[in-house]
Structures are given as structure tokens and as C-alpha cells.
Chain A
Amino acid sequence: MSATRAGLRPVITGIGAVTPSGIGTEEHWRSTLRGELRVGPIASFDASRYATTLAGEVTGFDPADHIGGRIILQTDRWTWLGMAATGFALTDAAYDPAAHDPYATSVVFGAGSGGNDFGQRELQRLWSRGRQAVSVYQSIAWFYAATTGQTSIQHGVKGPSGVVVSDGAGGLDSLAQARRTIRRGTPVVLAGGAEAGLTPYALTCQITGGRLSTSREPHGGYKPFDREAGGHVPAEGGATLVVEDPASAAARGAPRVYAEIAGYAATHDAHHHRDPSPDPRWYAEAMRRALADARLTPADVDVIFADGAGSRDLDELEARAIHTAFGAHAERVPVTAPQGLTGRMCAGGSALAAVNAVLSIRDGVIPAVGNLDDPAPEYRLDLVRVPRETPVRVAMVNARGYGGFNSSLILRAVDPATTDGGTR
């Protein structure tokens, strides 16, 4: 069997984000720490006839700043956002895959709903004008593997690449697959995810899920852990992380080692096709197993980046899951969900949560829960209200997916003095 290095803990050496809060990691992070609400009425089309009219859109984004013109023609906006985030992450990591053995790098992204804008346009062409009108790029633009495939081509990446789909948990699950890939010998994996579901048809589909806010007022849209929580606002955007074998990072002199992937676990409620189980034990079990995987205990956790679904029932379930997993520590651990500022971006959202956690570790500051006015006291959680400056050594990032997916990731600061090649 392959020489799988079971204990190896990959490190994060680069991050990139393209979100409603900013095009580029630092712009996104500054806006997040300032608590700027980036949810607003949908501008890309007239959404007035839909039950949901608010979204978090990435404004001022020109794909030509990030991708060649020929590729732009072949791809959907979802792929543009993902490739742009990847460009930022590679620059941040000072890593050019093309300068290395092509098999030394992989791409593993979480995907959500695929290429919606491209797909709806081609459906319209087919049904209004006939099959001759369908683009030669339809077969490669809308399917869920498009971003991974185009990214591997753009950067000359030939290692084992993949696409995982687990709704909102997909970004974290891509990091787990990155870890499996690195443990099998590929030094560098680009992981994360993006989403762009703000087209009339994709919005219509999302509305049928029953979890979207119907507020017409941006402030009332997506309010995780608020007493007035009434669903979430959809958003576009995503994030990419450069995940690396610590030996590779050391050998090439990576400018920064932000954190290590110390633990991960996933469970599924296996309860109902839409609703999570009313019993939070499987969500709690994901957190417990992730901590056990990291050989840490609840006492070690400095912050939880929560799923923050933004509806009363789901927020209450999440609070109970945290209490189940953390016991007496549940009321002590700071809990945040800055995504209240942007809306939810499916798999891209959990990738972004991991980036936010990395930034918290880097800067020693925990961003506030986004758009939170009136925290529900019965959750008995330390919900972060204003950015909190505090050393962050261990961050837990949690994400849930529609239908019952639960994923939990533990990121831990790496002390340069104790770096030992990542195997503990």
C-alpha cells in the first residue's frame, strides 16, 4: 500500500479571497473587521418578482484582471471568482506551480451549484433558438469540475485533483481531501471553493430550499444568532488556500506558515433530505472527533467560527451542538460568524471561514458576528460583538450543508521554534 504518512499535519502557506467584502484577502479582511454590511438589493438583474431580493454580490470585479480573455469566454462567473481567489493565494504563498514538478501540485475544490449564468444562458438558447445556438463551451463551463479543471490547466498542475460537493460544508471537505492527498505524497494542494448562484434561475432554485430571508431591508437580511434571525441571504464569492506539506514549505522557504491543519472530522445527520436532525449529537460528534483528531480538548480552543445558519431553529441547534461538544467550556469559547456581513456562499462560504480563521490566528483578532444586533441569550454563547484582540492559537471552523452535512476543522498556530516537519 502507499506510504501514507498518517500523522502528517499540512500547513497553510497562502490564502486568497474574493467576496462581497473585497476583491483580495486584505480588502476583505479590513472590511470584515470594520463590520461593513455588504448585503444589498440584487443589482445584477431585476429581482423584484422573487421572494428574496437581497444578496451579497461581488461588485467591481473584472475577470480580465485575473484571467486570460480566451478562458473568460469558456467559463462561468463562478470559475472566474475561484480562479481569481487562487491567483491571490498563490501570490501570497509566493508559489508558482509552473516552476515546480507538475505532479507536485494538486487542485481540490469544493463545488456547489456549478456554472449558473453560463448554464441558464445556454438553456435559453437551446429552448428559444434550437440546438445550433448552444455554445461549444457549454459542456465544459457549467459542470461542477470546471473550476478545478481550468485551474489545473492555467497553472500547469498535474497532481491528483478533485471536486467534492457537500453543500455548505464543501470548502472544509476540500481541505480534508487536500490533507489526504498531501499525506499520500503530493506536496502542495490548492483547496477551497467558490460560488456564484445569483442568476434568476439559480435564485429561484435556492428559494425553494426554504432557508432564504425574505427581508427587503439589508440589515434585516441575514442575522446569525440574532433573536430576529429569519433565514439567510445568498452570496457569491469564495476563497482558496495553499495547503502544503510542512517539509515542502520549509524546503522552498515559504514566506509564511500561517497555521497547520491539526484536525478534521465530518458526520452526516442522515435524518431528512432537507432538515437537520433535531438532535444535535451528530454535529457535536463532528466537533468532538475533530478535536480528538487534533489531540486537543475543548479547553484548548480559542475561537469557534460557526456555521451561523441565521434562522432561529438552526442557530439554536448549533448552540446546542456546541454545548454538547464543549460542555463547561461552551460558554467560555468566543463564537463568531462574520458571514452575516456578506451572506452565504455555499462551499465558498466554508472555504472563506477557514481563511477568516487563518487571519484571526495571524493578527490575533477575532472578527465580530456579522450583522448581529440582538443576540439570543438562551444560546448561552460568548458571541463576539466587536472585533476582539486576543491571541488565537487554536481555531475551530464548523460548517453545515443542506441535508445534514457536518464538518469541523481545527487550525492551529505553528510556532516556528517547534516546527518539526509536521509529524507529531
Chain B
Amino acid sequence: MRRTAITGIGVVAPGGTVRKEFWDLLTEGRTATRRLSFFDPTQFRSQIAAECDFDPAAAGLTPQEIARNDRFVQFALAAATEAVADSGLELGRDGADSADAADAGGPVVAVSMGSAVGATTRLEDEYVVASDSGRDWLVDPVYASSFLYHALVPSCLATEVACRFSAHGPAHVVSTGCTSGIDAVGYGHQLIADGEADIVIAGATDAPLSPISIACFDAIRATSARNDDPEHASRPFDASRDGFVMGEGSAVLILEELEHARARGAHVYCEITGYAARSNAFHMTGLKADGLDMAEAISDALRQGRTDPTRVGYVNAHGSGTKQNDRHETAAFKKSLGPHAYDVPVSSIKSMVGHSLGAIGAIEIAACALAIENRVVPPTANWSSRDPECDLDYVPNIAREYDVDVALSVGSGFGGFQSAIVLDRGRGDR
């Protein structure tokens, strides 16, 4: 049986555009939500976001990589570069582990990257010019820039990552809305388990902070309107929550077949022992309070690794900060973990880094791996008042030293997608 190890982590997140800064933010319980600064948000109902202070050139991107790519790809290239360096693999044009050597029986390197909304920001920016601010349905092609096809189909993300690291194995983007990150990593895990790849550059990225994204969530009142207090606007599981705070960012993980990692003496953060998805077949945006389908996904993911629910030492909740979500998944945890749900720390890092749509699933997996590595559970910031229907241990406000052997991360998204992934420190056989 082929097992999947995580051997590298890279993160670009609000409040911390490298892995260490990200982890410091989480463990200090600081929040990176603020008034939107990328454009004037005055007309919008929600004027808050978790923005990345990101400099693509400082992150090592070339001028052409910056010019042709939307921000969502730029984040991913930066995070992937950090993850590859962290893994110690020599991937790239001249790297010793480059899949250019695959003819000689080298490892197959795959790319499985998620994104919910792709190059929305660039598509909108260019649309505004080509349509003269919405005046013309027949947009003027003279104003179109050279790289719009690159923006139109989000598979450009997988291409850019594959090119940068000479990854010649299977490559794809997974775009299942807000579960894209978990699903992209989960598909990467499947590629290793099934022998389709030996190494997978897996993760997710989104940079949705553009007027159309803010407007479309405004229209359904899904986002927080706590505009007078942006730093405390993302309040998962708190009784006074009023919606999610949109974020942006990326995380990339190096997934590696365990024996391959061992053979080269790689540092193994943890293993992925289970991944499962279900749909609720109920509503594109609505959730049933029973949490049944998320519970099914969790139970399946635990079963795959023969993980007894009582071994789960940390649950990274979807915790978007909407009332229906918080109740839905609280029910799902009780159904899938039984009485242990009351004993296990549950937290939502969206309280600090916001909800970066498809990216957040990968960012949360990175947080889980770091929680196992550092034996610290990140908190749920901004928690001050109990919702009687959310009665679990949400790790309010202060990180907790805790010996986590198994971490569970879940996601829930528009379209009815429910996903769960299980990380395991291992069983003393490393």
C-alpha cells in the first residue's frame, strides 16, 4: 500500500506571506482582517477583507511571470517555491529530482492545484477597460491584453506550476468552489495511492478581492457588514457572527510517497491517511442543520486510515462565520465523532485569515500539519459569546499547547460540496 507523506509546506496568507509568519499569526491569535484597501469599497455592503501584503518580485517571480499571471497564480508560484525548498527536493529545469529524468525511471511529479474563482480579478479589470466600464456589451478587442486566454480558463494555474518545477506527470486544477483546496490535496493523495504519481505539488490559491466578488456575496448577504470593526469581523461560532470575511492567499504542500520520502531522509510533517467528499444534493448555498453529508465525508475519511474517532486531536473547522455553517458542522462533528466531539479542540483560522474561498482548504491543511508538527492548536479568534447551538470546545482566542497526533480538516462549499481530510503524525514506524 502506497502512503502519502507531507514533506514540504509553503504559505501565502493574510498577515503572513511565508510559512513562519503565517504560523506566528495563528499561534498569537492575531487577526489580519481590515478595511478593503485594493479599491474603494464604499458602495458595498461588506467593506472588509483579509488582504495579503504580497510582493511577487520579492517572492522570486520573474517579470514575465508577474505580467502574464493573475494574482491567484502569483500566490501559488510563491507558495510552491517555498514548499519545494522546504521539502529539499531538487525540482526545476536542472534539478536532480526533476521529472525530466523520468525517462530514466525518476519519480513522476504531478500537479494538483485548486481554485474556486481563478483569475476573476484580472478578468474583471480587463473587462472594465474593454467594455468601457460596462457601457458596451460588444467589448472592444483592441483593449484586450495579451494574456486573457490565460485568465479565462483557470488551468493556467497547473501549467504555471508544472512549468516552474518541470513537473511532467498528470496536472490539473480542481475547482469545487470552497472545497477546492481540500479536494485538490485529496486528489493528489489519490494520485500517489494509485501509483499515478510519486510526488505531487498540491494546494490551492484564490485572489477574489475584486468588486464583482464582493458584490455577488453582498447580494446574498453572506459576508460580514461589521464595517466599523474590521479586525473583529470574522467571528466563527460566536453568537454575534454576521457572515464571513473574504480573504485571499495560497498554500502548497509537497505530497510524497512515503517510501520515497524515507529513502532520501526527508523530513515528514505527517501523513494523509484519508480523504473523502460528499454532496448534499440539497441547495447551492443552503445547508441542512443535521450536517449529515459532512458527517458521512468525515466518517469515510477516518475509515480509510482505520482511524478511531477518539484519536482525532484537533478539528480544523470550516468555521466560515455564518450561522447556518456553524450549526451545520457542529452537528456533523457530533454525528461523526460521537461523544469525543465534546473533548476535541475545534477551531476556525478563518477568524484570523478570513475565507479565501478555494484556497482556504489548503491553507487549513497547512495549519493542521503545523499543529501536529509544533504540538500547538491555533485558536478561534474573536470568540466572546456562546451560541447555545454551538457547544463544542472552539479554543477561544488563545492557542493551546496540545499533543495532536491526528488532525481533521473539513470544508463546505457552494454547490453542496462537503469534504474531509485526515492527517496523522504516524504510528512510530518512522
Which residues of A pack against B, CB within 8 Å?
1-2, 4, 6, 45-46, 49-51, 74, 102-103, 106-107, 111-114, 120, 122-131, 134-136, 138-140, 143-146, 148-150, 152-153, 155-167, 170, 173, 176-177, 180, 183-184, 197, 200-202, 204-210, 265-274, 281-282, 285, 346, 401-405
Contacts and interface: CB of A to CB of B under 8 A. Distances in A.
Most buried by A among B141, B146, B150: B141
B153 A167 contact: yes
A412 to B, nearest CB: 20
Interface of A: prevailing SS: mixed
B402 interface: no
Contacts of B99: 270
A131 B281 contact: no
Contacts of B160: 273
Given A127-B128, A204-B144, A282-B168, A135 B303 contact: no
Nearest to B282: A153
Contact of A401 (B144, B155, B212): B155
Contacts of B280: 158
B220 A268 contact: no
B348 interface: no
27 contacts: A1-B3, A51-B141, A122-B216, A123-B131, A128-B134, A131-B211, A131-B214, A135-B219, A139-B414, A140-B414, A144-B118, A145-B176, A145-B180, A146-B284, A149-B177, A150-B284, A160-B278, A162-B183, A165-B153, A166-B155, A166-B173, A201-B127, A265-B170, A265-B196, A268-B171, A270-B171, A403-B155
A403 B159 contact: yes
Interface of B: 1, 3, 43-45, 68, 99, 102-103, 111, 116-118, 123-124, 127-128, 130-131, 133-135, 137-141, 144-156, 158-160, 162-163, 165-177, 180, 183, 187, 190, 193-196, 211-212, 214-220, 222, 273-274, 276-285, 293, 296, 303-306, 413-417
A273 B127 CA distance: 22
Contacts of A201: 127, 130-131, 139
Contacts of B219: 131, 134-136, 138-139
Contact of B215 (A112, A138, A161): A138
A144 B304 CA distance: 29
B44 A131 contact: yes
Contact of A208 (B117, B146, B278, B415): B146
Contact of B284 (A140, A164, A167): A140
Contacts of A281: 103
A205 to B, nearest CB: 4
A123 B216 contact: no
Nearest to A160: B277
A166 B139 contact: no
A170 to B, nearest CB: 7
A140 B176 CA distance: 11
Contacts of A272: 163
Given A145-B413, A268-B167, A167 B155 contact: yes
B152 A113 contact: yes
Contacts of A153: 281-284, 416
A134 B216 contact: yes
Contact of B281 (A157, A167, A270): A157
Nearest to B297: A160
A50 to B, nearest CB: 6
Contacts of A202: 152
B159 A268 contact: yes
A272 B147 CA distance: 13
Nearest to B154: A165
- The 9 residue pairs across chains A and B that have the minimum distance between CB atoms: A149-B415, A209-B149, A127-B134, A403-B159, A128-B134, A144-B175, A266-B170, A138-B216, A205-B152
B175 A102 contact: no
Contact of A166 (B151, B171, B193, B214): B171
A182 B383 CA distance: 42
A4 B4 CA distance: 15
Contacts of B171: 166, 266, 268, 270, 404-405
